[in-house]
Amino acid sequence: MLQFKRFQALWEIIVVLTTLVVGGVLPYRLGIGLELDGPWQTRSLLVTLVFGLDFVIHLWDRLRQRGDRPTAVVSWATLRLFADLVAALPYSLLLGAVGPSLELLRLVKFLRVQAILSRWKQVSSFNPSLLRLTSFAFWIAVFSHWMACGWIGLGGVEQRGAPMSQHIEGLYWCITTLTTVGYGDVTPKTDVQRIYTMFAMIVGVGSYGFIIGNVASLLSNIDVARSRFLDKMEKIDAYLRYKSIPRNLRDRVQNYYQYLWDSRLAHDDFEVAGDLIDSLRTEIMMHISRPLVERVPFFKHASDEFMRSIVPHLQPKVFLPGDHIFKQGDVGDAMYFLTRGQVEVVLEESGRQLAVLAESAYFGEIAVLKEVPRTASVRAIDHCQVYELKRDSVNQLMQAHPDFAQHVLEALDSYEDT
Amino acid sequence: MLQFKRFQALWEIIVVLTTLVVGGVLPYRLGIGLELDGPWQTRSLLVTLVFGLDFVIHLWDRLRQRGDRPTAVVSWATLRLFADLVAALPYSLLLGAVGPSLELLRLVKFLRVQAILSRWKQVSSFNPSLLRLTSFAFWIAVFSHWMACGWIGLGGVEQRGAPMSQHIEGLYWCITTLTTVGYGDVTPKTDVQRIYTMFAMIVGVGSYGFIIGNVASLLSNIDVARSRFLDKMEKIDAYLRYKSIPRNLRDRVQNYYQYLWDSRLAHDDFEVAGDLIDSLRTEIMMHISRPLVERVPFFKHASDEFMRSIVPHLQPKVFLPGDHIFKQGDVGDAMYFLTRGQVEVVLEESGRQLAVLAESAYFGEIAVLKEVPRTASVRAIDHCQVYELKRDSVNQLMQAHPDFAQHVLEALDSYEDT
Amino acid sequence: MLQFKRFQALWEIIVVLTTLVVGGVLPYRLGIGLELDGPWQTRSLLVTLVFGLDFVIHLWDRLRQRGDRPTAVVSWATLRLFADLVAALPYSLLLGAVGPSLELLRLVKFLRVQAILSRWKQVSSFNPSLLRLTSFAFWIAVFSHWMACGWIGLGGVEQRGAPMSQHIEGLYWCITTLTTVGYGDVTPKTDVQRIYTMFAMIVGVGSYGFIIGNVASLLSNIDVARSRFLDKMEKIDAYLRYKSIPRNLRDRVQNYYQYLWDSRLAHDDFEVAGDLIDSLRTEIMMHISRPLVERVPFFKHASDEFMRSIVPHLQPKVFLPGDHIFKQGDVGDAMYFLTRGQVEVVLEESGRQLAVLAESAYFGEIAVLKEVPRTASVRAIDHCQVYELKRDSVNQLMQAHPDFAQHVLEALDSYEDT
Amino acid sequence: MLQFKRFQALWEIIVVLTTLVVGGVLPYRLGIGLELDGPWQTRSLLVTLVFGLDFVIHLWDRLRQRGDRPTAVVSWATLRLFADLVAALPYSLLLGAVGPSLELLRLVKFLRVQAILSRWKQVSSFNPSLLRLTSFAFWIAVFSHWMACGWIGLGGVEQRGAPMSQHIEGLYWCITTLTTVGYGDVTPKTDVQRIYTMFAMIVGVGSYGFIIGNVASLLSNIDVARSRFLDKMEKIDAYLRYKSIPRNLRDRVQNYYQYLWDSRLAHDDFEVAGDLIDSLRTEIMMHISRPLVERVPFFKHASDEFMRSIVPHLQPKVFLPGDHIFKQGDVGDAMYFLTRGQVEVVLEESGRQLAVLAESAYFGEIAVLKEVPRTASVRAIDHCQVYELKRDSVNQLMQAHPDFAQHVLEALDSYEDT
């Protein structure tokens, strides 16, 4: 199977390269008026060979898939197949006079290139916005080349110098027109040239409109997550300015979000994935939580199955230095796993610091399990990341996973003994 | 009624074509300075005939509808009616000197063309974005033609060659200006020409801005459903990249959505149709579910009424190969109808495969009806599509449809006997 | 008060017109190099008079409001006041040589024009998008005029013909550049002209970008409600196409929404007005429901207070011909007021038609009041609009409004007697 | 620490200025063909000194941070470091012939400038949209300068006059091309120039597309809060027009929102800040409510802790003149604190005015505390702003804050005595 996929990829590369060479050289020679002489004819036969083989492969592919597809798609697919056939004809064997121009029909092979590129785009896992930009640039380049060759063929280029120089002038005219710069130093003189130019201008304005409308959005889409995050922060900032919140508080809000972003905790667009099935969703959550959860010793050696059931219940939270995670006397409905930073356990009345807990500690389980008010306050010393586990989830997990229950209860006992 | 509609359509086509011919030929001849001689006058009478008849029809139509409409709309409609009258005047019978230029007043008939095209657009069920693009291109073409004729009439075209050649140069000037390319090889020389050019440039920049702002959105709207789906996938992908999910898992998520899309299950914008009445909503759901639901034998022969009541309760779900649909021992609150793919029924402890169910099977009804935990696990073998039916819905349906109840209970008995 | 407002409006018109004349004539004469001779000086004194008076008014206005405003705004407002003073200086009395050019300082009065236009825009209740377009066109015109005059002043216009002709050429250069058409028949020759042109091009590209980005959105905003409605329908249509719903059903959905739109029932953006206070909200609902509600005889003579309490409970609904409003045997939880169309009351078993109810009837109150199942089915004969009133609301209203309770119960009795 | 930050800022300014001077002068002299003679070489050594020192600082910084960063970022950071090294080489000491052109490599130092500007942008708390516009203009200016110098170096400028004049013509060509105006009075003559021009046009059209797509959105983003508010009002207005609400009611709705906006009560985007932690959220609310809450005497001397617990419960509300805040006989579930405006207490039956309450009063506590119907109506006399406190919140607060409970109950007693 893999063998086959590799061969397919190789063959596609060959076809694309051949088509690019044909699409590059043929219009160029015809435009400038160079003869398609002996060596060219040999090469043309080679092209016929490659395209012919590709046609057979394409045909075989189509016949194989025919059963599965609905009939409506057939006609368009048949057209593509027919285009492949047209591109594969041995034009060099035809009459000398008509042959060269007819050979331009080979350019319909670019339909196949388009299909191959589409498939590559879908298969690859590059940034989709960058891919779209690249493919867009590719097609612009191809069409500009053809347009320039046509312009030369119509006699639009004045000086009859070196072929390369002519081609540069043709391209220069083309780009000048498509970008709507329109210097006007190369202009149409005959009716046919004028019509050709009008066509170029209309196409230009269309694709130009398309670029204009897309460059900005493509560029901002290159990092969708970031641009959406910035957008959100801008809205919040606008709200705070409107409410005349002083700059220092505004800065703290901004720093908080910056911290969220940097530690990859910024809560964002996953809700759009509402129709994702549970198995994938759990796996994604596992990947997100693993590195942090594993800092907690108890979890490190937990079974994979236990992890899968606990992970959806863990709620990441961030606390700034000095924030209370909970206060003595509150009714406790959650326990916490500290994954980054330090917290201190203090008694409210006396202000006495009972303990400082570092990464990988958990706390708050007493109030949850015994349903008593918090016996002490817990306060963040620096930026802290914790996972919150609600009482309902704890109970549910203890029921389903006896070893977890045992572990927690043992820990509880050891507290009581103290 | 249908007879009448056909006649109306035919008449509208005649009116549109006549107007197009008049709008094409008249400015052309006047611009180039050709005389509107004998044959033209005959044709002009013909046009008067067609437009006159159309005016009468229009008038009759208006009088008929007058009762229903609020008065505010009247004035604008009256203006349109008056325009129709103006277009129908027998200009060729007027004084030779003034007649030709006055005949340009016939162009107000394009208001009627616009109204007819609007109606066609509304009635047709083509892709609305494509229709908008087409109608936009149509009006651009009409205005370009008029603008070119005006430019020729003002003496903007230098060479006084063949009329066709002059017209091409006029159009060329027009397109050069409207697309803001502005080569500058055809430029205004007199004050009047300069004012005309300024007008053309301002109109050009306006409609150009309109195109630029719309081409991109129109193109992306041609397949709204797909572009929204891609947008959503891009957001999810951005989220996964931000959370540093490894490529292989990201690919699986992408494949899953691709599968959803290909099997037309991607859950999308139907929630916007919140104000749709129930009768239409049910009918739409019937159409969506029918092809799949009918694979299940029980449903195949079910009454239409029963189908109507069950369809809103069916929730389509997709499972990937290896996913558990439910696990032995779980509390079951739904039964399933398998519409595509295969599932295996296994005992968790022993791993023994009890059965393989193929398309059209249903399962999970035991736990639902008898309120016992799942007696076995069910796992997807390949990509599976199932319809989920919640316990509440089952009960509700069994109450309302005794034959369904009987069928289900019989099946249950046969299980128990086994 | 009104007297004062009228005087204010009149005065503002005088100031705006004076400023426009000064802003039009002054740069024109200076650009072309015409002398600001005797009559001009008289007029200049007149302008000083008008602007001076306006400055006094402005100053008085500012002093009056000073108490209310926070101090931060003062500086910008003071600047505007200072600009008004500068514009009011008697320049014509200054030295002959420097005076004319200095008089250009009067153009800062356009700041005041801008302020007045802003106020007008806020006060008027025209379509805000149209107003924005208009004001945009106004400022483009003003700046183009100034730019053209500057260009003439710098010697950019070649032929030194009639002043009007020169001005047209200047404007022509300006428009050619701002629209980026750039024919290149009028080009800068000196360094100063080149710098001026660069400035014009950069300004042009900026404001052009602004137009391009806004024309489309402004145009689509001219009828926000409609464009949002179309947008929604396009999404629904895309969904239906994606799900391969047949054309005929798609057309029915479209017709339904078209009907909703035409009868002004399309449910739309009022939820954005979530922070509107109740008094305004109720008044709006009264206006929306009144014309329809009043068709029901009982409501026609109801007290305003009763109407105010019932209107928020009325839910407008539309039914298509043949749709069931409710079915015999259903549990009824709402009564209905028919405001448009006809319904028939039928017995399900026999299919016997008990009655045909026309506009202004109400029905469904039996099941609501006596908590029995529906005693008959009600089916729409043609397009029907009804107001639904839920049982909870009925009870609430009957409690609060004894006369309503009595009326309903009497009607109920008369049914029972039948 | 602060000392260090100040030094860092100073050093960054020195580096940026040096780079700007080098990036300005070097291409200019090379383009025009001026020799880089004696004094230049001295200056070049100075630049080497500054850049060398900066390289060392940069290197030291990198080494310090290496531990924390993941390895993937290293390569890109290393590249930047290498660029810094390249920019710091003592080019003036190299061979005379190659040296000058090689010195252009110093321009890679602009990567560092970009990094510094980014940091400044992040640190500063200016309007982010304005900052983006400014930085965009900065880079456009830099690139235009370089492009102009390149054009001069390629001989694109015809007249060989004063260096400054040449540079203006180069810039003029550059701006003409980038803005797509394209007069065509300065055009390429050789192949190299043509290729250079094509490159400029493509870059131009890209960055132009970016500007076009951004100017409008940037401008509208300068005041995000306001533009969103206007957007919302436009939607509401469109709804009201669609429903044919009379102009006078529409105006009242508009005035109401204008009042909300002006008194900074417009409820807006804070819900996007859903993931903000409670400590920041409470502090923001304190800032918003403080100025108004403090007008109520009781709150003025309340403890900070009490304020923190009451503020999240206070719901700001606005009433228009004549609106009822509540009506006699209603079931009361909230008490009110009047922060702006006047209300009157009236008996419904007799219409007798019992009292007029001014700012800082509170009312409605009787019905809340004793659970009796409202004993009188309260009606707004002018525009009133009140804070609503629901019964649940009152009870919760009285439980947690005994002094608040006592205060309220005392007030209650005094009422009863009356």
Please write the tens of the pLDDT for every residue from D259-307: 888 877 776 656 666 677 777 888 888 888 777 777 777 676 677 777 7
Average pLDDT, chain C: 81
Full DSSP string of C69-101 = S-GGGHHHHHHHHHHHHHHTS-GGGS-TTTHHH
Interface A-B: count of C-beta contacts within 8 A: 141
Chosen from C218, C235, C245, C379 to mutate, greatest number of chain B CBs within 10 A: C235
- Here the tokens at position C38 are 């005797």
What is the chain D residue with the closest CA to B177?
Answer: D181
Report CB contact under 8 Å: B172, A194: yes
Question: Hey, what CATH topology would domain B277-417 get?
Answer: Jelly Rolls (2.60.120)
A183 min Cα distance to partner chain C (Å) = 8
- Here the tokens at position D110 are 């602009």
Q: What angle do CA B157, B160, B162 make, to 5 degrees?
A: 110
The per-residue pLDDT for range C217-252, each reduced to its tens digit, is 666 677 777 777 888 888 888 888 888 888 888 888
- Here the tokens at position D273 are 């800040």
Report CB contact under 8 Å: A175, D206: no
Share of chain B above pLDDT 90, in %: 11
Q: What is the rounded distance in angstroms from the CA atom of residue A302 to the CA atom of residue A362?
A: 15
DSSP symbol at A332: P
pLDDT of residue D65: 66
Chain D environment of C208 (Cβ under 8 Å) = 212
- Here the tokens at position D328 are 């006699």
Report CB contact under 8 Å: B180, D184: no
User: Which of B265-269, C150-154, D390-394 is modeled with the greatest confidence?
Assistant: C150-154
Report CB contact under 8 Å: D169, C272: no
A124 touches A57 (CB < 8 A): no
Superfamily of domain D278-417: Jelly Rolls (2.60.120.10)
Is the per-residue pLDDT at B97 higher than 70?
Answer: no
pLDDT grade for B100, boundaries at 50, 70 and 90: low
Is the per-residue pLDDT at D139 higher than 70?
Answer: yes
Question: How many other CB atoms sit within 10 Å of the CB of residue A399?
Answer: 10
- Here the tokens at position C106 are 């009067």
Nearest to D212 by CA among D200, D204, D223: D204
Nearest to A35 by CA among A109, A102, A97, A108: A97
Output b/e per residue, C370-408; b: 16+ Cβ within 10 A. eeeebbbbbbbeebbbbbbbebebbeebbeebeebbeeb
Q: Using H for helix, E for strand and C for coil, what is the string for chain B? A: CHHHHHHHHHHHHHHHHHHHHHHHHHHHHHHHCCCCCHHHHHHHHHHHHHHHHHHHHHHHHHHHHCCCCCHHHHHHHHHHHHHHHHHCCCHHHCCCCCHHHHHHHHHHHHHHHHHHHHHHHHHCCCCHHHHHHHHHHHHHHHHHHHHHHHHHHCCCCCCCCCHHHHHHHHHHHHHHHHCCCCCCCCCCCCHHHHHHHHHHHHHHHHHHHHHHHHHHHHHHHCCHHHHHHHHHHHHHHHHHHHCCCCHHHHHHHHHHHHHHHHCCCCCCHHHHHCCCCHHHHHHHHHHHHHHHHCCCHHHHCCCHHHHHHHHHHCEEEEECCCCEEECCCCECCEEEEEEECCEEEECCCCCCEEEEECCCCEECHHHHHHCCECCCEEEECCCEEEEEEEHHHHHHHHHHCHHHHHHHHHHHHHHHHC
Question: How many other CB atoms sit within 10 Å of the CB of residue D313?
Answer: 16
pLDDT of residue B258: 83
Report CB contact under 8 Å: D172, C273: no
- Count of CA atoms in the C-beta half-sphere (13 A) of C288: 24
What is the chain B residue with the closest CA to A176?
Answer: B181
Question: Residue with structure tokens 């008990």?
Answer: C354
Q: What is the rounded distance in angstroms from the CA atom of residue C50 to the CA atom of residue D166?
A: 48
Chain C environment of D179 (Cβ under 8 Å) = 180, 201-202, 204-205
Question: How many other CB atoms sit within 10 Å of the CB of residue D7?
Answer: 10
- Here the tokens at position D382 are 């002018």
Chain C environment of B180 (Cβ under 8 Å) = 179-182
pLDDT of residue D128: 74
Report CB contact under 8 Å: B201, C181: yes
The per-residue pLDDT for range D166-220, each reduced to its tens digit, is 899 999 999 998 888 888 888 898 889 999 999 998 887 777 667 666 666 676 6
pLDDT of residue A393: 86
pLDDT of residue D78: 81
Is the per-residue pLDDT at B178 higher than 60?
Answer: yes
Output b/e per residue, C292-319; b: 16+ Cβ within 10 A. bbebbeebeebeeebbebbbebbebbbb
Chain C environment of B204 (Cβ under 8 Å) = 179, 181
Q: What is the rounded distance in angstroms from the CA atom of residue A360 to the CA atom of residue A376?
A: 19
| Greatest CA separation for chain C | 105
**Close Cβ partners of B408 (under 8 Å, ≥ 6 residues apart):** B365, B369, B394, B398
Angstrom distances, CA of residue D306 to CA of D278, D300, D366, D404? 16, 11, 22, 9
Neighbouring chains of B at 3+ CB pairs under 8 Å are A, C, D
- Here the tokens at position C123 are 């006060």
The per-residue pLDDT for range C134-179, each reduced to its tens digit, is 888 898 889 999 999 999 988 888 766 788 888 999 999 999 988 8
Minimal Cβ distance to B184: which of D180, D184, D212:
D184
pLDDT of residue D140: 86
Nearest to D156 by CA among D199, D204, D205, D193: D193
Nearest to A179 by CA among D203, C87, D42: D203
Average pLDDT, chain D: 81
Neighbouring chains of A at 3+ CB pairs under 8 Å are B, C, D
Q: Report the run of H or E that residue A287 belongs to, with start and end.
A: helix A278-293
Q: What is the rounded distance in angstroms from the CA atom of residue C291 to the CA atom of residue C73?
A: 47
The per-residue pLDDT for range B295-353, each reduced to its tens digit, is 777 676 677 777 777 887 888 888 888 888 888 877 778 888 888 889 999 988 888 88
Chosen from B133, B215, B284 to mutate, greatest number of chain C CBs within 10 A: B284
Q: Report the run of H or E that residue D167 belongs to, with start and end.
A: helix D163-178
Is the per-residue pLDDT at C213 higher than 70?
Answer: no
**Close Cβ partners of D56 (under 8 Å, ≥ 6 residues apart):** none
Q: Is A341 left (phi over 0), alpha (psi -120 to 50) or beta?
A: left
Superfamily of domain C276-417: Jelly Rolls (2.60.120.10)
Report CB contact under 8 Å: B198, C172: yes
Report CB contact under 8 Å: C185, B187: yes
What is the chain C residue with the closest CA to D182?
Answer: C182
Chosen from B139, B151, B280 to mutate, greatest number of chain C CBs within 10 A: B280
B307 touches B299 (CB < 8 A): yes
Question: Domain locations in chain C?
Answer: 1-124, 224-262, 276-417
- Here the tokens at position D395 are 């009870």
Neighbour-count burial of C185, counting CB atoms closer than 10 A to its CB (0-12 exposed, 13-18 middle, 19+ buried): buried
User: Which of A100-104, C125-129, D264-268, D390-394 is modeled with the greatest confidence?
Assistant: D390-394
**Close Cβ partners of D329 (under 8 Å, ≥ 6 residues apart):** D348, D373, D374
Report CB contact under 8 Å: D323, C279: yes
Q: Is A190 left (phi over 0), alpha (psi -120 to 50) or beta?
A: beta
DSSP symbol at C377: E
B153 touches B31 (CB < 8 A): yes
Minimal Cβ distance to A219: which of D128, D129, D210:
D210
Tens place of pLDDT per residue across chain A (418 aa): 557 778 888 999 999 999 999 899 888 888 887 776 667 777 888 888 899 999 998 888 877 765 544 444 456 778 888 888 888 888 777 655 556 677 888 888 998 898 888 888 777 767 777 788 788 889 889 999 999 999 998 888 876 678 888 899 999 999 998 888 888 888 898 889 999 999 998 887 777 667 666 666 666 667 777 777 888 888 888 888 888 888 888 888 888 888 888 877 776 656 666 677 777 888 888 888 777 777 777 676 677 777 777 887 888 888 888 888 888 877 778 888 888 889 999 988 888 888 898 887 888 877 887 778 888 889 999 888 888 888 888 888 888 778 778 877 777 777 655 5
C394 touches C368 (CB < 8 A): yes
Report CB contact under 8 Å: A277, B241: no
Neighbouring chains of D at 3+ CB pairs under 8 Å are A, B, C
